[in-house]
């Protein structure tokens, strides 16, 4: 009787032990699964953080590239504006120089003809003082007026100088000084020996004058 009981106990003990082993295995498996899930969750979290960081870095890189392109565009625009401004200044300067060259192209010729003009004026004055050469004076005046007209058409313009005018070193050349009784004539023109001329707005010959001292 006691032997049967012992067998039953042993049998029950084996069942309990087997169940305990099964429970232990399930517990281990569950712990492993939990740990694996935790690892996967951590890996997923790290991956998400890495992707987030990668997106931020990519965004920053794009922003930096945009700023760089904007800076290069601004620099290129400034360079273009400077070049355009320099070209415009060069174009205006060369156009002005060319215009001045065209205006003064005959300067040497006209300067060479000025002594002829002086001779005409002296002869004209001499003829005016002589009453016996009326016909000659008319012919001479015709030639003189024609000659003067040609010079004027080419830009020659005489200076208007007269006694009492202020002496100006930009237009006059003092060849002599003469004492004057009137104080208001000191330093002023009292006689014009030789006329001065402009070619357009440029002085090509100073007027030779006598000034009061």
Same domain flag for 99 and 116: no
At residue 206, the pLDDT reads 92
CA separation, residue 72 to residues 75, 84, 171 (Å) = 5, 18, 55
Spell out the residues 6+ positions from residue 135 whose beta carbon is closer than 8 angstroms to its own.
none
Indicate the residue among 74, 103, 132 that finishes a domain: 103
Residue 168 has pLDDT above 70, yes or no: yes
CB 157 within 8 A of CB 74: no
Confidence of residue 181 (pLDDT cuts 50, 70, 90): confident
Q: How many helices (H) and strands (E) does the chain have?
A: 3, 6
Residues 99 and 110 both lie in one domain: no
Residues 6 or more apart whose CB falls under 8 angstroms from that of 200 comprise 103, 104, 155, 157
User: What pLDDT shows up at residue 1?
Assistant: 42
| Distance (Å, whole) CA 110 – CA 118 | 12
pLDDT of residue 208: 92
Domain count for the chain: 2
pTM above 0.85, yes or no: no
Looking at residue 51, its pLDDT comes to 65
Looking at the structure, do residues 94 and 5 belong to the same domain, yes or no? yes
Write the CA distances from 196 to 36, 114, 129, 185, integer angstroms.
112, 10, 24, 21
**Could you give the percent of the chain with pLDDT greater than 70?**
75
State the chain's mean pLDDT as an integer.
76
149 pLDDT band (50/70/90 cuts)? confident
For residue 16, name the pLDDT band (cuts at 50, 70, 90). Answer: very low
**How buried is 53 (Cβ within 10 angstroms: 0-12 exposed, 13-18 middle, 19+ buried)?**
exposed
Q: What is the pLDDT of residues 18-31, one digit of tens each?
A: 544 556 666 666 77
Domain termination site, one of 76, 103, 130: 103
- Residue 184: CB atoms within 10 A of its CB come to 9
Same domain? 24 vs 91: yes
The answer to whether residue 33 scores a pLDDT higher than 60 is yes
Phi, psi of 61 (to 5 degrees): -65, -40
Query: Which whole number is the average pLDDT over 29-35?
Result: 70
Neighbours of 84 (CB within 10 A): 10
Tell me how far the alpha carbon of residue 141 is from its chain's centroid.
55
CA distance readout (Å), 139 to 20, 95, 113, 147, 207: 154, 44, 20, 13, 28
Boundaries of domain holding 53 = 1-103
Domain shared by 124 and 58, yes or no: no
């Amino acid at each position: 009787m006691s032997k049967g009981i012992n067998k039953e106990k042993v049998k029950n003990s084996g069942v309990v032990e087997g169940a305990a082993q099964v429970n232990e295995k399930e517990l281990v498996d569950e712990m492993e699964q939990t740990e694996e899930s935790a690892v996967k969750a951590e890996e997923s979290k790290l991956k998400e953080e890495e992707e987030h960081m990668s997106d931020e870095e990519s965004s920053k890189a794009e922003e930096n590239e945009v700023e760089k392109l904007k800076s290069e565009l601004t620099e290129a625009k400034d360079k273009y504006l400077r070049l355009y401004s320099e070209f415009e200044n060069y174009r205006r300067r060369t156009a002005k120089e060319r215009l001045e060259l065209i205006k003064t192209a005959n300067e040497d010729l006209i300067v060479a003809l000025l002594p002829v003009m002086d001779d005409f004026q002296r002869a004209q004055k001499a003829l005016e003082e002589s009453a016996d050469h009326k016909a000659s004076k008319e012919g001479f005046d015709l030639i003189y007026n024609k000659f003067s007209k040609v010079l004027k058409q080419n830009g020659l313009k005489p200076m208007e100088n007269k006694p009492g005018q202020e002496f100006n070193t930009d237009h006059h050349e003092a060849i002599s000084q003469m004492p004057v009784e009137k104080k208001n004539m000191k330093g002023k023109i009292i006689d014009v020996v030789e006329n001065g001329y402009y070619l357009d707005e440029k002085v090509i010959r100073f007027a030779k004058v006598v000034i009061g001292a």
